[in-house]
Amino acid sequence: MALYRVFAIDILNKRKDLGCATQLIGVLGKVIYLKFVIAPDSFKGSLTAKEVSIAIKKGITKIYPKADVELVPMADGGEGTVQALTDATKGKFITEMVTDPLGKPVEASYGILGDGHTAVIEMSAASGLQLVDENSRDPMKATTFGTGELILSALDQGVTKIILGIGGSATNDGGAGMAQALGAKLLDPKGNELPLGGGFLDRLDRIDVRGVDPRVKKTKILIASDVTNPLTGKNGASVIFGPQKGATVEMVEQLDQNLKHYTDIIEKDLNLAVKEIPGAGAAGGLGAGLIAFTNSQMKHGIDIVVEYSLLKKRAQGADFVFTGEGGIDHQTKFGKTPYGVAQATKLVAPTAPVIALAGNIGKNIESLYQSDAIDVIFSTPSGAKPLDKAIKDSPQDIELVAENVARLVKTTLAAKE
């Protein structure tokens, strides 16, 4: 049924609904307009979203060399968001030397979008779990100070808005390090500034924000996160995410108590209650810190990427939409890129089938078809092969699947004649 839904639509009888492509395509003597929108996520560990887009385009244009093909690399607010949005908007990348989770220098990059006044940052670039190995992970000392340094660097670029993805953290400091980098003073009862790390927040006596860079409050920060955990408690940052960052049972308990104390001081000194805000526990509590110390708003990551990539505008008049990512299963409809792309494009191009490509197709994908968003899913590997071989072959395999889909489109159109 899924294939029928995609390819047996009566395109030739819906000329008024066809795309606004500027290139003419001949099909059996008939001249019609076709527009393909290509909006995949990265295939993690293999290809960036831009590289996947290019591979799909190569396959399509083998069959439709004059087609109007719109490339819109995508992400869901997590890893790859900087690359996808910067590529999609023809922006530029900035690299800075900042502080890693354990206080060492590390190079971290972020993007300035094509509009020139919006930055996109992944906190994991400076404060991510990938920057510490299993032996050096220490959530008691890990800090978000480097993320604050990236924010300041973006402000130095003259931006007025920042998109901040907050997945993949090594930290559990409630964004305290980020606040310290921005100029806030977290002081103990003797007036000394606290050391970096969530393990020292029990010493916090007062917060002085007079030294915070004044540009911070003038700059809108959109927090890209689908995590809804509160900061503390059984569903909080420490209990749910602490163990994967190296926290023992004793550390989890102490970190949770430290964050509770931290929020009490925030409420007292800043007149803000952040403990129970959904998403406050994201990235070891960085969500709470951003809300407390900056002009921030939480949004679903895919919604932000859809908006700033101008996906809906670029998908207007589309005849076919290609999306995808490394793995697709029943969880894809919970904030993942292919589902977000399908929902967004169906709003502006309701007759355009959405074709998803995946390196691996998981269980229970029937629920994706039932949602009337994704119309069909194809696996990209060209046969069984070892993982390293599949990764190496992925550009050619994706191109081949896209070419075969385009051939099926052409055959279906021909049959309609």
Using alpha carbons, list the distances in angstroms from residue 252 to 201, 248, 258, 293.
13, 6, 10, 24
Distance CA 178, CA 161 (A): 17
The answer to whether residue 377 is domain-embedded is yes
Distance CA 272, CA 262 (A): 12
pLDDT digits (tens, 9 = 90+) for 151-205: 999 999 999 999 999 988 999 999 999 999 999 999 999 999 999 999 999 999 9
Q: Is the dihedral of CA 218, 220, 223, 229 positive or negative?
A: positive
Q: Are residues 264 and 127 in the same domain?
A: yes
Q: Are residues 85 and 49 in the same domain?
A: no
- Range 34-52 average pLDDT: 93
Q: Are residues 265 and 143 in the same domain?
A: yes
pLDDT confidence bin for 371, thresholds 50/70/90: confident
Q: Are residues 250 and 127 in the same domain?
A: yes
**pLDDT at res. 310:** 95
Are 318 and 35 in contact by the 8 Å Cβ rule? The answer is yes
Cβ neighbors of 4 (< 8 A, separation 6 or more) are none
Tokens at residue 49, please? 């979203």
The answer to whether residue 310 is domain-embedded is no
Q: Are residues 268 and 354 in the same domain?
A: no
Q: Are residues 289 and 247 in the same domain?
A: yes
The answer to whether residue 312 is domain-embedded is no
CB atoms within 10 A of CB 65: 9
**pLDDT at res. 78:** 84
Tokens at residue 65, please? 């060399």
pLDDT confidence bin for 23, thresholds 50/70/90: very low
The answer to whether residue 308 is domain-embedded is no
Segment holding 172, helix H or strand E: none
pLDDT digits (tens, 9 = 90+) for 203-213: 999 999 999 99
Q: Are residues 108 and 64 in the same domain?
A: no
Q: Are residues 69 and 178 in the same domain?
A: no
The answer to whether residue 166 is domain-embedded is yes
Domain count, the chain: 2
The answer to whether residue 65 is domain-embedded is yes
Q: Percent of the chain at pLDDT above 70?
A: 92
**pLDDT at res. 376:** 94
Q: Are residues 141 and 226 in the same domain?
A: yes
Residue 245 — φ and ψ, nearest 5°?
-100, 5
| Range list of H helices, 27-144 | 49-63, 81-88, 124-127
Domain end position, chosen among 278, 303, 328: 303
Domain that residue 241 falls in: 81-303
Q: Are residues 27 and 119 in the same domain?
A: no
Q: Which residue has the tokens 């050391």?
A: 195
Domain end position, chosen among 247, 281, 303: 303
The answer to whether residue 388 is domain-embedded is yes
Tokens at residue 370, please? 């039932």
Q: pTM for the complete prediction?
A: 0.85
Tokens at residue 401, please? 């699947």
Q: Which residue has the tokens 């901040």?
A: 164
Start-to-end CA distance of the chain, whole Å, equals: 22
CATH of the domain at 86: 3.90.1510.10
Q: Say if residue 48's pLDDT is above 60.
A: yes
DSSP percent split of the chain into helix, strand, coil, nearest 5: 40, 20, 35
26 or 387, which is more confident: 387
Q: Are residues 330 and 298 in the same domain?
A: no
| 3 state DSSP class of 324 | strand
Q: Are residues 222 and 133 in the same domain?
A: yes
Domain end position, chosen among 303, 333, 354: 303
CATH of the domain at 322: 3.40.50.10350
Are 326 and 44 in contact by the 8 Å Cβ rule? The answer is yes
Are 342 and 308 in contact by the 8 Å Cβ rule? The answer is no
The answer to whether residue 326 is domain-embedded is yes
Sheet holding 320-328, edge to edge: 68-71, 35-38, 320-328, 354-361, 376-379
